[in-house]
Structure 1
Amino acid sequence: MNIADIATDEFVQVDSDERLGKVRSVFERENPKGIVVTDEEEYAGVITERQLLQSHIEDDAKANVLARSNVPRIGRDEDVRDVARMLVEGGTKVAPVFEGETLWGIVTEDAILEAVLENLEVLTVDQIYTDSVVTLQEDDHLGKAINYLRENDISRLPVVNENGRLAGMVTTHDIADFAVRTMERQQKGDRSGDTDRMLDLPVYDMMNAPVETITGEETVKTAVERMFESGYAGLVVTPDGDDTSVAGILTKTDVLRALTFTEEQSMDVQITNIDFLDTVSRSDIQDAIAEVVDKYQDMQVHHAHVRLSEHKERLRGTPLIHAQIRLRTNRGQIAGTGEGYGSDTAFRVALDKLERNVLELKGIRADKEYEGQLLRKLDEL
């Protein structure tokens, strides 16, 4: 299946001179996955809602200040699996589709998932969900939520009560929506000072509840259908029979990532925010992970995911990088995280932590091997 069957020529766009305040209003009114920015009818980049939330740029600034020009450019003849990889590694839910050098349309995460939905029946949630979860307490303030979202480069945070039980969910969309409504009230003179007090608001006052959940035994197809029906981009994974304990998170991006798994002899490695790589290459990362894995012949790694995120702090111009390595193996998921100045240092710290976590898993009974049914289904399309 190539992307020509999935992409659309209908999309939301704004001129590069448009104010960011107006762009926020467009997200509020039309709720697009992303907005294409053009300069004299030429493609200039893409703005996502998460960018707006994480940006400190004033609303009077122009859209071109925030437009991401490094979002992957998709050709209309690209294979769906390659496009899935490009979206995940580009950290975006929408990308421009070109016919030659001409902007033809866009492709979205949702459109790809809809196209392959029936083939997701062969995967279960526990094969692909993320078991490392950042949570909030009900009385944590909105400022803390925003910091957690930025620091961990994520889009949603489960909220738990004083007993650690699932109580709600806060997402980047919720916060962006609340910020727009607050600014609109201020402009009308209804409640001056709201912006200053907004960051002190308890997340309990704006979280979504009840929360949509899924168990690890259910199929990924069921999970994606539930996301589409609820209008959510992620579900909280709970133990079977207990819908108030948080075992993990399953997002549309996790599902998209699963589409990139391969059955090749070489280990499949995927890197989110690949633009942060400086003195280390994709092949260096793959070789280093493979070296760790090869020490433990009884552990079979099906997929490796490396996520990089950049902090504001710098040392002699080199940014502080947070790196997370996650392996999907026949023994479950194993992760390692680390920080350092530059992607190479951060990756090495995370790799050392990963190896220590691998050692701790010795003796754990292996789970059922991943058989690759999804890949065979996709190859039949």
Structure 2
Amino acid sequence: MDISEIVSTQFTEFDIGAPLSKVAGAFENQELDAVVVTDGDEYRGVVSRRQLASSSNQPSAKVGSRVQHVPTVDRTEDIREVARLMIGSNAKTLPVLDKDRVFGVVTADAVLEAVSPFLDAVTVDDAYTTKLISVSPTTTMGKALNTLREARIAHLPVIDNDELVGILSLYDVIEFTTRGGNKSQGGSSDEFSGRGGFGERDGTSDRMLDLPVRNLMSDAAATVQRDTPLDAVVETMFDQEISSLVVTANQTDEPVGIITKTDVIEALTWEREERRPVQVFGLELLDEMDYDDVSALIDSVTSKYGEMNVIKASIELHEHKEKSRGVPLVLARIRLVTDRGYFTADGEGYGATHALRLAANAVERQLLKGKTYGQSKKHPDTEEQEQLYGWWLGA
């Protein structure tokens, strides 16, 4: 199955010199996940809704300062490869190029809608994140925002005495803290701080961050049981216009985890064979290393953490047009999913090998500090993998 039927030629485009405030205005359209950034006719990258909401943005900042380099795909790319690239780059929108120009975009929602009919043989139990990150109704907005930042997630279930009472969205918190009061001129901020954005407010912001989560949370938190097929999960997400469901035990209403659109997309990346623990996108850019060398590098980095099981390592290499003495500038991104949490780091340098080693050094520093960016997912056993591979490869 390729993406030729799900590519959208309707996309929002900004020049690299446009002010970020205009991009923020574009995201008033709640269905828009990312905008394409160009420099004349040349594609430069994307800016996503989550990326913009998660960063401190000066009023005078330009789009180019927030460009995210994500993989591009062809109009006939295999849908599973698109899913792998989305997971590897942590992006929900990928540009589709035709003769080096942006022809359209393919989104995670389009991928999910296309594969939904084939998801009936797989259940939530195969794909959900087992350790639930949550807050209580009395948690302050400031602490909740910090939790969203540290875990790099967009939704926080609100639990009171083991009962799910609501859910809090990153975007709701950002909008609440940046638009709920009178704005003053200028102001810088820390990432995810809730202060700043496009102009920092005065003391009103601090008072808002001290308010309890119950003041902003949505009472209508959708749930799903572990034995629910994934096609029903996707249908619920589309019907209710949400991107996550809190997972409850089959016999009780006790919250036991969460499943997101990203979790379902990631399920599409598994292979029938024993999954390689290290996935490399752009391996052909490495002229001094092969797959075994990359695996050895990851083993060397992760072995310094102690007792840790690496469930999956994802490496993405993206080549820029900029060169130095004929050597292209390359962005390397490493993402580790482990039983101790989720680690991610970037490295940028001339030559893929140099960029990869810089990224590996950055991940190693995180590992040694024990600094995680999320919670580990359930690792499917052999029987579960066979169940999943059967529906997908037979489609």
Please report how far the alpha carbon of residue 380 of structure 1 lies from its aligned counterpart in structure 2 after TM superposition.
4.1
Please report how far the alpha carbon of residue 142 of structure 1 lies from its aligned counterpart in structure 2 after TM superposition.
1.8
CA contact (8 A) 2:278 2:295 kept: no
Correspondence 1:100-249 to 2 at 5 A = 100-161=99-160, 163-179=161-177, 181-182=179-180, 186=183, 193-243=203-253, 245-249=254-258
Q: Which moved more, 1:56-65 or 1:13-22?
A: 13-22
Please report how far the alpha carbon of residue 218 of structure 1 lies from its aligned counterpart in structure 2 after TM superposition.
0.7
The one-letter code sitting in structure 2 at the alignment partner of 1:140 is T
The one-letter code sitting in structure 1 at the alignment partner of 2:389 is L
Please report how far the alpha carbon of residue 74 of structure 1 lies from its aligned counterpart in structure 2 after TM superposition.
1.2
Please report how far the alpha carbon of residue 166 of structure 1 lies from its aligned counterpart in structure 2 after TM superposition.
1.3
1:87-139 per-residue CA deviation (whole Å, 9 max, x = no partner) reads 01101111111123121110100000000001110101011100022111212
CA contact (8 A) 2:35 2:48 kept: yes
Aligned residue number for residue 9 of structure 1: 9
The one-letter code sitting in structure 2 at the alignment partner of 1:256 is I
Aligned residue number for residue 341 of structure 2: 337
Unaligned runs of 5+ in 1: 292-300, 309-320, 327-334, 351-357, 359-365
CA contact (8 A) 2:130 2:258 kept: yes
Please report how far the alpha carbon of residue 6 of structure 1 lies from its aligned counterpart in structure 2 after TM superposition.
1.7
Correspondence 1:291-370 to 2 at 5 A = 304-306=311-313, 325-326=337-338, 335-337=339-341, 342-344=362-364, 346=366, 369-370=383-384
The one-letter code sitting in structure 2 at the alignment partner of 1:12 is T
Q: Give the TM-score normalised by the residue count of structure 2.
A: 0.72
Aligned residue number for residue 332 of structure 1: none
- The percent identity for this pair of structures is 33
CA contact (8 A) 2:178 2:205 kept: no
The change in CA–CA distance for 1:349 and 1:16 in structure 2 (over 3 A counts) is: closer
Report whether the alignment pairs 1:256 with 2:262. Answer: no
Correspondence 1:6-155 to 2 at 5 A = 6-68=6-68, 70-155=69-154
The one-letter code sitting in structure 2 at the alignment partner of 1:240 is N
Superposed CA RMSD in Å reads 3.7
The one-letter code sitting in structure 1 at the alignment partner of 2:264 is V
Rounded to whole Å, the distance in 2 between the matches of 1:125 and 1:226 is 13
Rounded to whole Å, the distance in 1 between the matches of 2:109 and 2:165 is 27
CA contact (8 A) 1:119 1:374 kept: no
Rounded to whole Å, the distance in 1 between the matches of 2:145 and 2:279 is 26
1:318-340 per-residue CA deviation (whole Å, 9 max, x = no partner) reads xxx997534xxxxxxxx223889
Rounded to whole Å, the distance in 2 between the matches of 1:42 and 1:367 is 45
Please report how far the alpha carbon of residue 152 of structure 1 lies from its aligned counterpart in structure 2 after TM superposition.
1.3
The one-letter code sitting in structure 2 at the alignment partner of 1:260 is T
Q: Which moved more, 1:90-99 or 1:42-51?
A: 42-51
1:289-331 per-residue CA deviation (whole Å, 9 max, x = no partner) reads 999xxxxxxxxx9x933489xxxxxxxxxxxx997534xxxxx
The one-letter code sitting in structure 1 at the alignment partner of 2:341 is T
Rounded to whole Å, the distance in 2 between the matches of 1:338 and 1:231 is 27
| Equivalent residues, number | 326
Rounded to whole Å, the distance in 2 between the matches of 1:90 and 1:132 is 23
Q: Give the TM-score normalised by the residue count of structure 1.
A: 0.75
CA contact (8 A) 2:135 2:158 kept: yes
Rounded to whole Å, the distance in 2 between the matches of 1:20 and 1:11 is 17
CA contact (8 A) 2:97 2:104 kept: yes
SS where residue 214 of structure 1 aligns?
Answer: strand
Please report how far the alpha carbon of residue 266 of structure 1 lies from its aligned counterpart in structure 2 after TM superposition.
5.1
The one-letter code sitting in structure 2 at the alignment partner of 1:63 is V
The change in CA–CA distance for 1:347 and 1:208 in structure 2 (over 3 A counts) is: same
